[in-house]
Amino acid sequence: MHEWPKAQGREKQPMLKANHAVMLLKTDARDQAWIDAFSDAMPELEVRLWPETGDTSEINCALLWCPPPELFDGLDNLEVIFSIGAGVDSLLTCPTLPAHLPIVRMVEPELTAGMVEFCLFHVLRFHRLMHRFETQQAERHWEELPQVPATGVTVGVMGLGVLGQALARQLSALRYRVIGYRRGPGAVDGVEVFHGEDELEAFMRRSMILALLMPSTPETNRIINRETLRWLPVDAYLINAGRGDLVNEQELIEALDAGPLAGAALDVFETEPLPQASALWSHPGVYVTPHIASITHPPTACRYIVDTIRYYRQGEPWPHLVEIDRGY
Ligand code: GLV
Is there an atom of ligand 1 within 6 Å of 87 CB?
A: yes
Number of domains in the chain: 2
Are 202 and 65 in a shared domain? Answer: no
Buried b / exposed e over 289-312, threshold 16 CB at 10 Å, is eebebbbbbbbbbbbbbbbbbebb
**Is 169 a residue of the active site?**
no
Looking at residue 186, the DSSP 8-state letter turns out to be -
pTM value surpassing 0.85: yes
Are 174 and 225 in a shared domain? Answer: yes
Are 222 and 302 in a shared domain? Answer: no
Q: pLDDT tens digits for 209-233?
A: 999 999 999 999 999 999 999 999 9
**Is 243 a residue of the active site?**
yes
Q: What confidence score (pLDDT) does residue 19 get? A: 62
- Residue 319 is assigned to a structural domain of this protein: no
284 class by beta-carbon count within 10 Å (0-12 exposed, 13-18 middle, 19+ buried)? exposed
Q: Residue 12 — pLDDT band, cuts 50, 70, 90?
A: very low
Are 127 and 257 in a shared domain? Answer: yes
DSSP string for residues in 19-59: T--EEEEE-SS-HHHHHHHHHHH-TT-EEEETT--SSGGG-
* 232: β partners: none
Are the C-beta atoms of 86 and 105 separated by less than 8 Å? yes
- Residue 1 is assigned to a structural domain of this protein: no
Helical (H) or strand (E) element with 156: strand 154-158
134 contact partners, CB below 8 Å, separation of at least 6: none
- Residue 5 is assigned to a structural domain of this protein: no
The residue from 243, 283, 297, 310 that is catalytic is 243
- Residue 322 is assigned to a structural domain of this protein: no
Q: Residue 5 — pLDDT band, cuts 50, 70, 90?
A: low
Are 178 and 260 in a shared domain? Answer: yes
Mean pLDDT within 28-33 = 88
Nearest alpha carbon, ligand 1 atom 5? 85
Atom number of ligand 1 nearest to Cα 296: 5
Query: 4-18, 131-145, 194-208, 283-297: which has the minimum mean pLDDT?
Result: 4-18
- Residue 219 is assigned to a structural domain of this protein: yes
Is there an atom of ligand 1 within 6 Å of 86 CB?
A: yes
Distance 67 CA to ligand 1 centre (A): 14
Q: Which of 308, 318, 297 is nearest to 36 (CA)?
A: 297
Residue 43 has a CB neighbour count (10 Å cut-off) of: 8
- Angle formed at CA 84 by CA 28 and CA 221, multiple of 5 degrees: 100
Rounded to the nearest 10°, the torsion over CA 261, 267, 272, 276 is: 60
Are 239 and 100 in a shared domain? Answer: no
Q: pLDDT tens digits for 257-276?
A: 999 999 999 999 999 999 99
- Residue 218 is assigned to a structural domain of this protein: yes
Is there an atom of ligand 1 within 6 Å of 114 CB?
A: no
Are 121 and 75 in a shared domain? Answer: no
Are 127 and 237 in a shared domain? Answer: yes
Distance 241 CA to ligand 1 centre (A): 9
Q: What confidence score (pLDDT) does residue 15 get? A: 47
Residue in 65, 294, 304, 328 to alter for ligand 1 test, most ligand atoms within 8 A of Cβ: 294
Residue 171: give its domain's CATH number.
3.40.50.720
Is there an atom of ligand 1 within 6 Å of 241 CB?
A: no
Residue in 296, 297, 322, 328 to alter for ligand 1 test, most ligand atoms within 8 A of Cβ: 296
Are 104 and 114 in a shared domain? Answer: no
Widest Cα–Cα separation across the chain: 69
Q: What confidence score (pLDDT) does residue 296 get? A: 94
Three-state secondary-structure class, residue 181: strand
Q: Residue 21 — pLDDT band, cuts 50, 70, 90?
A: confident
Mean pLDDT within 131-143 = 97
User: Residue 29 belongs to what domain range?
Assistant: 22-108+296-313
Are the C-beta atoms of 66 and 28 separated by less than 8 Å? no
Atom number of ligand 1 nearest to Cα 90: 4
Distance 4 CA to ligand 1 centre (A): 23
Q: Residue 287 — pLDDT band, cuts 50, 70, 90?
A: very high
Distance 197 CA to ligand 1 centre (A): 25
Atom number of ligand 1 nearest to Cα 84: 5
Are 68 and 132 in a shared domain? Answer: no
Q: pLDDT tens digits for 158-208?
A: 999 999 999 999 999 999 999 999 999 999 999 999 999 999 999 999 999
- Residue 13 is assigned to a structural domain of this protein: no
How far is residue 282's CA from residue 288's CA, in Å, rounded to a whole number?
9
Q: pLDDT tens digits for 64-122?
A: 999 999 999 999 999 999 999 999 999 999 999 998 999 999 999 999 999 999 999 99
C-alpha 63 chain-centroid distance:
17
pLDDT at residue 9 above 90? no
Q: What confidence score (pLDDT) does residue 4 get? A: 61
Distance 301 CA to ligand 1 centre (A): 13
Are 85 and 118 in a shared domain? Answer: no
In angstroms, how far is the first alpha carbon of the chain from the final one?
Answer: 25
Pairing of strands 177-182, 236-240: unpaired
**Mean confidence (pLDDT) of the chain:** 93
- Residue 4 is assigned to a structural domain of this protein: no
Are 249 and 302 in a shared domain? Answer: no
